[in-house]
Amino acid sequence: MNTHPQRLLLHNELHARPRPPLHGPHRVSMFALLRPAGGPDPVDRLHALCRDYRLPEPSASQGHFFGDFGSFRLKWERHGEFDDYTVYRAGADPANPFAQPALDALPEGWVASLPGECIAAAHVTVLGPATDDAQRLPPPLAFDGDSLIAAMVADASALVFTDLQLDAQGYTRFLMLDVNTSPAHTGREVQRLLDIEMYRMMAMLAFPIARAVAGQLDTIERQLTELGERLETASPSDEPQLLGEVTHLAAMIERLSGESSFRFSAGRAYHALVRQRGSELRERHLSGVQTLTGFLDRRFGPAMALCESVGNRIEVAAQRVSRASSLLRTRVEIEREAQNQAMLAAMNRRARLQLRLQETVEGLSVAAITYYAVGLFGYLAKGAASAGLAIDPETASGIAVLPIGVAVALALRRMRQAIMRRQNSDDELEP
């Protein structure tokens, strides 16, 4: 049996990014950096870190890495637009769970040397197992009490608290209280929280574009409405100007679509990942506190709905411009057909006139040729009479008028028919 050359690679991809198990207490720090276009490869800095700690370096083709550096563990993943780094560090102070985050274990200056711009960052502290009264809310723990978000997750196996606010260093903080979860399950739950924060911020990149495009779409839609009204009463002389306006609007919409289509498509994909990770948390409501997914549905959902709406408006505007262009083109074609018909009618009138003129000229030609032919025949009769023949020249000329006229008319008719047959034959030979 022949094996596909990429079978092993594709199979191992399912197990390429394992979520490390976590034993509480534990601290986790994550930050995601947008990769600069044409900038240095972040793998180079990862190689330098591995060399400093004498660890195997990831290959240039790898899109992920996980290494144990002794005092901390580091996970790196490459995504389509960004790289995320997650630092794991055992231990935490229950009285001050976000003191000395896991990020502090990295060598000084290493994070600052990484290329790219930070788009998402979060700290997660895992404490546990919790006491029997874990159903009650803990002390404020530096969270904003007015915007506290909390829920039981993993079928009530753990509790999660956050306020989705940025601390002084620009990190979102999550506190997880372990009730009855295994280390592997805890690792997966922490990763889901980090994914929600990371993909939420990536999805929000589409929001400022949507707001900017929405203002331009308002102008375009208003112009389209005015253009449709003018099309109803426009005269043929207005059509070139209308065609220029339609072309200008089509160019504007094409530009907006080109500038925003990728970002809106990416936003939809990231939004779907946020919703998927939220459903995988399997939240249960805590009395008096909103859940994480409930908060995101009320605050994050409308922003994504705006992006989706603006994307749909671009498509609708493009369709309206296409219909206006088709309508204008139909008007031009109808008027052109009318002009062509008027031109053909004029040509037919001129052809009939030419035929009448030709028939008139032909009649005059018969008379003129007959006149000259009879005159020549009269000269012949006079010559014959002078030679002694008993011929009256005038009588002979009068008798010759009719046969000569008929002969001339028949000769001209035969000549015209020969010319028409030759013309028809030439027309048939032309492609």
- Is residue 38 located within the same domain as residue 154? yes
The answer to whether residue 198 is domain-embedded is no
- Is residue 125 located within the same domain as residue 82? yes
The DSSP letter of residue 286 is B
* Integer angstrom CA distances of residue 49 from 30, 74, 113, 119: 17, 10, 11, 23
- Is residue 103 located within the same domain as residue 213? no
Q: Pick the residue with more confidence: 368 or 201? A: 201
Residues 312 and 305: beta-carbon distance below 8 Å: no
Quick: pLDDT tens for 95-120: 888 989 999 999 999 999 999 999 99
Q: What is the dihedral of CA 296, 125, 171, 213, to 10 degrees?
A: -20
User: Is a pLDDT exceeding 70 seen at residue 138?
Assistant: no
Give the residue among 204, 210, 226 at the shortest CA–CA distance from 313.
Answer: 210
For residue 56, give the amino acid letter.
P
- Is residue 256 located within the same domain as residue 285? yes
pTM of the model: 0.76
Query: Mean per-residue pLDDT for 233-250?
Result: 82
The answer to whether residue 114 is domain-embedded is yes
The answer to whether residue 62 is domain-embedded is yes
Q: What CATH number has the domain bearing residue 325?
A: 1.20.58
Pick from 340, 370, 386: which residue ends a domain? 340
User: Is a pLDDT exceeding 80 seen at residue 390?
Assistant: no
Pick from 340, 368, 387: which residue ends a domain? 340
Owning domain of residue 278? 206-340
Residues 313 and 218: beta-carbon distance below 8 Å: no
Domains in the chain: how many in total? 3
Phi, psi torsion values for 86, nearest 5 degrees? -125, 125
The answer to whether residue 9 is domain-embedded is no
The answer to whether residue 243 is domain-embedded is yes
- Is residue 330 located within the same domain as residue 357? no
- Is residue 362 located within the same domain as residue 264? no
d(CA 43, CA 58) in angstroms, rounded, equals 8
The answer to whether residue 237 is domain-embedded is yes
- Is residue 126 located within the same domain as residue 228? no
The answer to whether residue 402 is domain-embedded is yes
Percent of the chain with pLDDT over 90: 44
β-pairing verdict for 172-178 and 117-127 = parallel
Query: Mean per-residue pLDDT for 197-210?
Result: 96
What integer best gives the mean pLDDT of the chain?
84
Pick from 277, 311, 340: which residue ends a domain? 340
- Is residue 24 located within the same domain as residue 172? yes
The model's confidence at residue 226, banded by pLDDT at 50, 70 and 90, is confident
Residues 158 and 181: beta-carbon distance below 8 Å: yes
- Is residue 240 located within the same domain as residue 325? yes
Query: Mean per-residue pLDDT for 303-323?
Result: 92
- Is residue 160 located within the same domain as residue 289? no
- Is residue 333 located within the same domain as residue 213? yes
- Is residue 230 located within the same domain as residue 364? no
Quick: pLDDT tens for 26-44: 999 999 999 888 778 888 8
The model's confidence at residue 359, banded by pLDDT at 50, 70 and 90, is low
Q: Pick the residue with more confidence: 376 or 295? A: 295
The answer to whether residue 371 is domain-embedded is yes
Local structure of 107: helix, strand or coil: coil
What six digits make up the tokens of 345?
């009618």
